[in-house]
């Protein structure tokens, strides 16, 4: 009688474990389908900025964008002027250990310094244009 109870308990335990296993892989397949549907939008890289905010490098139809995400909103910060392959190549640079990764913050700071230079140049051009317009109006 005790052998029968032990066998019933082992079969029940295996049944529960099997059910858990099937649910785990079923949910994993289901979420994978949801996140990869369409295939035109992919998160390439991410960096956490705090408890509920992060920066993402997102590929949309092959074009890279820098996106800021918080609990309140999602905002496109800038378009990146490199392809997905170039970004990945830069992130996993061959000059270093192939298993190490260049930190997202380094790539972001390089990009932001480039954007800052471009904005400075645009501001200088705008000031020059305003001065030219004022000189034309004065004469």
Q: Which of 130, 136, 132, 42 is nearest to 87 (CA)?
A: 42
Same domain, 31 and 54: no
Same domain, 16 and 52: no
Same domain, 128 and 75: yes
The pLDDT of residue 114: 78
Same domain, 75 and 125: yes
34-53 residue pLDDT tens: 555 566 788 888 888 888 88
The pLDDT of residue 43: 84
pLDDT-wise least confident of 19-23, 41-45, 63-67, 107-111: 107-111
Same domain, 45 and 63: yes
Same domain, 4 and 67: no
Overall domain count for the chain:
2
Domain that holds residue 4: 1-37
Residue 113 to residues 108, 110, 119, Cα–Cα distance (Å): 9, 5, 10
The pLDDT of residue 98: 47
Same domain, 65 and 77: yes
For residues 89 and 17, the model is more confident at: 17
79-116 residue pLDDT tens: 888 887 787 777 766 445 544 556 777 777 777 787 78
CB burial string 74-99: b at 16+ within 10 A, e below: eeeeeebebeeeebeeebeeeeeeee
Provide Rg for the chain, Cα atoms.
Answer: 27
Same domain, 107 and 74: yes
Same domain, 55 and 99: yes
Same domain, 3 and 65: no
In this prediction, residues 70-76 reach a mean pLDDT of 90
Same domain, 93 and 133: yes
């Amino acid at each position: 009688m005790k052998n029968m109870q032990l066998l019933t308990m082992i079969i029940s335990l295996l049944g529960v474990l099997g059910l858990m296993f099937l649910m785990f892989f079923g949910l994993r397949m289901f979420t994978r389908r949801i996140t990869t549907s369409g295939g035109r939008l992919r998160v390439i890289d991410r960096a956490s900025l705090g408890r509920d905010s992060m920066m993402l490098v997102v590929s949309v139809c092959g074009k890279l964008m820098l996106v800021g995400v918080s609990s309140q909103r999602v905002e496109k910060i800038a378009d990146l002027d490199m392809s997905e392959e170039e970004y990945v190549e830069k992130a996993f640079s061959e000059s270093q250990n192939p298993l190490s990764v260049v930190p997202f913050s380094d790539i972001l700071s390089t990009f932001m310094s480039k954007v800052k230079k471009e904005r400075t140049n645009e501001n200088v051009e705008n000031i020059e244009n305003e001065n030219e317009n004022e000189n034309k109006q004065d004469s």
